[in-house]
Structure 1
């Protein structure tokens, strides 16, 4: 799952150097994506799934993925939908057509959020420097997604591999989160 998503959706931003490159952990900013916030009641799931081209997840803390898109369950009536940046108009039109007059909320939040890939043997340890949830593989398995806090910043965390995570944060917080991760990684250098 991780390799496919990294190569299509969460590809490292080619214009950026790694934020952190240690033997046991690395942090890379990702290229821009089309991000849509979708809200709707259970009656709209079939239409929204058809319009998006991927079944929206209904299980808490889960994600559904396809070759060029992903959908994250964020709450009982809330999802974050991702597609390649150049597919924004096409994705919005597909959802609007499928949903028609059905009550829902669909908002382009592409410029609100950014993402980082945190990978390596010490990725979970590094993220736990600011995230107060158990990130052991048994407690937070591959595929699990949640909203949480990194120190004081709201983030969305998705495990895409045993030692690989996507951290989504609002653009105004991404440098704060990255800076604290880099600072915490100094302990790894000293060890």
Structure 2
């Protein structure tokens, strides 16, 4: 059975920072010529525009590079990636289960804006004009690599490696108290 615990046991959620539950996660890599075939078989149109996401049929696909996507599914069973692999059949691509490698945090407007909290450790311009809803990117939060995804005007989803979760969460909570 997988560990379905939230991001870390440092503290429960606050007004602005909430650990999210279990997600099925997979890294998909394929050549541009295979994207249509992979999309058809998975039932989701993989985003082709840089740093964009698509959500459909319970799957979120985040563009991480010209041939790389992070697939997410909330509360996915342990067999989720095996099911996707079966759907892909003989299509030439790579699909790797990373469900246990990462955890998710949600940052929402509360005492301070989500943009302000994230700006404490992220050098990107996170204004709505520069980082619109649906945009995602792999970036740094202080010294930890994260995947940052804007879900709504007031809400971000962060994917962080489990070994860095307490570090990132702790820095965000410091920023929250100082905001």
Same fold, TM-score > 0.5, yes or no? yes
Contact kept, 8 Å, 1:52 with 1:91, in 2: the verdict is no
1:19 is aligned, of 9, 13, 23, to: 13
1:69 partnered with 2:69: no
- The CA deviation at 1:90 is 4.7
Instruction: Output the CA distance in 2 between the equivalents of 1:174 and 1:138.
Output: 28
Alignment of 1:113-124 (within 5 A): 113-120=102-109, 122-124=113-115
Shifted more, 160-169 versus 50-59: the winner is: 50-59
SS of the aligned residue for 2:76 comes to helix
Shifted more, 43-52 versus 64-73: the winner is: 43-52
1:93 is aligned, of 78, 83, 87, to: 83
1:187 partnered with 2:178: yes
> 1:54: which partner in 2?
44
| Greater length-normalized contact order (CA 8 Å, ≥ 6 residues apart) | 2
- The CA deviation at 1:72 is 0.6
From the superposition, tell whether residues 45 and 95 of structure 1 become closer, same or farther in structure 2 (CA, over 3 Å): farther
2:165 is aligned, of 150, 174, 177, to: 174
> 1:146: which partner in 2?
137
Q: Which protein has the bigger helix share?
A: 1
From the superposition, tell whether residues 86 and 168 of structure 1 become closer, same or farther in structure 2 (CA, over 3 Å): closer
SS of the aligned residue for 1:86 comes to coil
RMSD: 2.1
From the superposition, tell whether residues 146 and 174 of structure 1 become closer, same or farther in structure 2 (CA, over 3 Å): same
Count of residue pairs brought into register by the alignment: 171
- Extract unaligned runs of 5+ from structure 2: 1-5
From the superposition, tell whether residues 48 and 92 of structure 1 become closer, same or farther in structure 2 (CA, over 3 Å): farther
> 2:101: which partner in 1?
112
Instruction: Output the CA distance in 2 between the equivalents of 1:90 and 1:59.
Output: 26
Shifted more, 81-90 versus 146-155: the winner is: 81-90
Instruction: Output the CA distance in 1 between the equivalents of 2:113 and 2:43.
Output: 35
